Amino acid sequence: MQLNGSQIVLECLKEQGVDTIFGYPGGSILNIYDELYKQSDDFLHIRTSHEQGAAHAADGYARSTGKVGVCFATSGPGATNLVTGIATAYMDSVPMVAITCNVNLPLLGKDTFQEADIAGITMPITKHGYIVKDVRELADTLRKAFKIASTGRPGPVIVDITKDVTAKSCEFKKIKKVADKSAIKTYTDDNINVTIKMLKAAKRPFIYVGGGAIISGASKEVLEFAEKFDCPVCDTLMGKGAFDGTHPLYTGMIGMHGTKASNYGVSECDLLVTLGARFSDRVTGNTKTFASKAKILQIDIDAAEINKNIRTSYSIVGDLKEVLSEINAKLDQMDHTEWKEKINGYKEKFPLSYQTDKLTCPYIIETLYKLTQGDAIISTDVGQHQMWTAQYYKFRKPRTFLTSGGLGTMGYGLGACIGAKVGNPDKVCVNITGDGCFRMNMQELATASGYGLPIVEIIINNRVLGMVRQWQTLFYEKHYSQTVFEDKVDYCMVAKALGCEAVRITKKEEVEPALKKALGSKVPVVLDCVIEEDDKVFPMVPAGASISEAFDASDIEGEK
């Protein structure tokens, strides 16, 4: 049948099972939006307040559902406004297809009004990028884009289409999407057998779980492996929820703001089993001393991550769910009671703690957990509140924690929360942000209110850029350069002006009633939680130091 380019785009989205799009219209993409108008019964389109919000929403939708997120933008500034969201998705391996439209083909490369080489601009931050200049290539290009975005190590793909292609017609043949079974097994039985020998030889093993465990859907296998191996488990920021945060084997997050139990345990173990993690600098600290007493076994789907940051003793390249299934089938029940007792001693001696005589972010997060019992999707922005959330909210299930781990994108959380709510309408969705991050994309509250999305936005308001100030306090002689907000912005008034309910919290006793009301609301609610400006996230490892050098407030007091 003969279809024009705009019709082909939407037909290909239907083939891929897409029914939700986040975007913002403009001149070059107008043909597609006109066709979307005609097919509005087939798609839910969420028009965000800014294209960056659309990218973050598509990201949050993808992370929380496991589907490919889709966003639309027009040419020039519309497309470039997606860049930060695309980079965020790339760093955290999130499947996304960004569809942009450019100027007409004869006008490309002539500095035409609202022209930008978005495929070139995003080349370093996408798995692949396409410029479609021929309508006959459009369908196959879109199909390839979705396959690339969702297979192997996932990531964003951009498809830029010239405007004339969206108007021209060609023959289109529908195809039925089938499960991709073409993946080649990248490991052997010998790899599994060598791994089993390493596991059996270990006396002080530790399991380190990253975001790959969530992407591969391996949570069940990770749990079975940890219990069979009888081994302590730590996780990364991206791995939160892959392993139950209430399980007795769980020791907390590892790294710069990880628990002392995890950091000390990994520093003393003789085998570190790395599951779907890439040895980020925020995890390893000084790479020369990281897990220096241990053999390192790494299992990851991306061969490029093997020996990139840390030299391994042995590695398996493959899908974590499949690899662990084979390991679990061959691994006998093991017993590491003595080692576990030592790690439990660290957990008892060095628990996470905070001041209980005042309103703090950890108290707010613990109260949120108590009210939700972990049955919520939590997004965050980046900074102190992000680390407190990772420390004090017990994530029990995968795809319940959405945060920018690799790029560290301030302004990510609200869009991601909107995407999560759209993809999971029956779930409680909460974004925890700082006042600095809230300013980045607070206009997306208008998106939430406009579409009647009952999300909860918790602002941890200390009137400073908290994490930067913490570093200035500890390492820059309290030179608070440009980190204090001395303006008169009223976040509750902003929230109400954007169509949301808002409550200001200044005392501990106000937290639970406000949270209960917000969680039960049918409209978006903003909670402006005013805390002290000098609260700090502990434990902490100085940049470049060994993770065994983690310190907290008591260590600082002891030095005085």
Measure the CA–CA gap between 306 and 70, rounded to whole angstroms: 30
CB-count burial class (<10 Å; 0-12, 13-18, 19+) for 444: buried
* Tokens, residue 125: 């931050």
Q: Which residues are catalytic?
A: 51, 113-114, 163, 467
SS3 call for 30 = helix
**Crossing angle of helices 320-330 and 219-229, rounded to 10°:** 30
Among candidates 498, 399, 518, which has minimal Cα distance to 457? 518
Report yes or no: 14 and 70 within 8 Å, Cβ to Cβ. Answer: no
- Structure tokens of 55? 């990218």
| Residues linked to residue 72 through DSSP beta bridges, in sequence order | 23, 99
Dihedral angle, C-alpha 298, 247, 193, 181, nearest 10 °: -70
DSSP notation for 260-286: HHHHHHHHH-SEEEEES----HHHHBS
Beta bridge partners of 69: 96
7-10-14-16 Cα dihedral, nearest 10 degrees? 120
Separation between Cα atoms, residue 102 and residue 302, nearest integer Å: 33
Q: Who's near 327: CB < 8 A, 6+ residues apart?
A: 192, 195, 196, 199, 225
Q: Count CB-CB contacts under 10 A for residue 317.
A: 17
Q: Are 156 and 145 in contact (CB under 8 A)?
A: no
Whether cis (ω within 30° of 0) applies to the bond prior to 539 is: yes
User: Distances in Å between the alpha carbon of 325 and those of 217, 219, 220, 223, 321?
Assistant: 12, 11, 10, 11, 6
CB count, 10 Å around CB of 401?
A: 27
H/E element, 340: helix 337-349
CB-based contacts of 508, cutoff 8 Å, min separation 6: 358, 359, 363
